[in-house]
Amino acid sequence: MSQSPSLNAGIPSIDLSDFLYGDPERQAAFVQELGRAYEDVGFVAVRNHGLSAAQCDRLYQVIEDFFGQDSEAKATYEVPGAAGQRGYTRFGREHAKGRREGDLKEFFQIGQEVSPEHTMHGTYDANVKVYEPSDFNEVTMQAYRTLEGCGQHMLRAIALYLQLPEHYFRDWVDGGTSILRAIHYGPILQDPGDAVRAAEHEDINLITLLMGASAEGLEILSKTGAWVPVTALPDQIVVNVGDMLQRLTNHRLKSTTHRVVNPPRERWSEPRFSIPFFLHPQPGMPLDALPTCVPNGSEPIDPPITAGEYLDERLREIGLKK
């Protein structure tokens, strides 16, 4: 039987192999551990997630090489009108909801690709082809598919915890608007004032899968109002609840506020790289609160909305869409 979750850098740690390959007792324990963690903290660290060490190393190398190009070269990968959902987005363009200061980051986003036979074919813009490094597109899409698969397994366990059919999410996330975002928090060259690498925010999507970043800085807001540093160990990824899943569960599962703080002044010259995978459903998925998550005699906390409508609303709030 799986051991009860242990705190690693402030969040519970679980082993996905317990769910995928364990006996019924280990699978059931995994489901309960995951569900309790998402009710209490909103974050878990996951072992045996499917990304190999070699895959991670190469992914970070191509990301670092891409962002090491000059501004003019990177600007050729910007896509006007794409709201940052494809290609390159320059420093300071995105800001947290409710803040004016732009985050101290630039990023590149890779989106969903589906076959011509898929019902979502023709719905999404094409991904931006990167020419240097030459294997950028292949390496990033391989990571996209690996993390997408891991996320789908996590959603199976979440469905079971919510007493839904195990594959409740499958059709909605198949061909969903998921995004792999490569982020570069550059060296801080002058006093940033109130600007930070990523101001406090909650993620938009169902769940986020985050590989261990190249430097410290990620913090989550605890129930007591304290900021807790989070650093995943090399063999783990961090998986957290997003706003869409929080809405769907009537806030039973917590979309926890988190941020990326600036390093101490003596380390301003150090860059930071991070690669989150934002798992989204198809735009038509309703995010109405599940009836089983709404107490008798109560009204849902949030009004009905579809995933596509909610994404559009949030992209406007964070400055990526006009």
Q: Does residue 322 lie in a domain region?
A: no
| Paired sense of beta strands 236-241 and 258-260, if any | unpaired
**Burial state string for 107-140 with b = 16 or more CB within 10 A and e = fewer than 16:** bbbbbbeeeeeeebeeebeebbebeebeebbebb
CATH of the domain at 266: 2.60.120.330
What's the pTM? 0.91
Tokens of 57: 């190393």
Q: Does residue 170 lie in a domain region?
A: yes
Q: Does residue 66 lie in a domain region?
A: yes
- Are the C-beta atoms of residues 199 and 260 closer than 8 Å to each other? no
**Burial state string for 171-197 with b = 16 or more CB within 10 A and e = fewer than 16:** ebbebbbbbbbbbbbeebeeeeeebbb
Q: Does residue 31 lie in a domain region?
A: yes
**37: closest CA among 12, 10, 17, 57?**
12
| Residue reference for tokens 């929080």 | 246
Phi, psi of 173 (to 5 degrees): -90, -15
Residue type, 223: K
Tokens of 92: 């300071």
Q: Does residue 51 lie in a domain region?
A: yes
Q: Say what angle helices 136-161 and 53-67 make with each other, to 10 degrees.
A: 120
Q: Does residue 1 lie in a domain region?
A: no
| Overall number of domains in the chain | 1
Q: Does residue 83 lie in a domain region?
A: yes
Q: Does residue 119 lie in a domain region?
A: yes
The pLDDT tens digits along the chain (322 residues) read 333 333 344 689 999 999 999 999 999 999 999 999 999 999 999 999 999 999 999 999 999 999 999 999 999 999 998 887 999 999 878 777 777 677 889 999 999 999 999 999 999 999 999 999 999 999 999 999 999 999 999 999 999 999 999 999 999 999 999 999 999 998 887 888 877 788 888 999 999 999 876 567 888 998 888 898 887 677 899 999 999 999 999 999 999 999 988 888 888 888 899 999 999 999 999 999 999 999 999 999 999 999 999 999 998 888 787 7
Domain containing residue 229: 6-317
- Are the C-beta atoms of residues 181 and 276 closer than 8 Å to each other? yes
Tokens of 156: 């199976």
Cα–Cα distance between 319 and 238 in angstroms, integer? Answer: 26
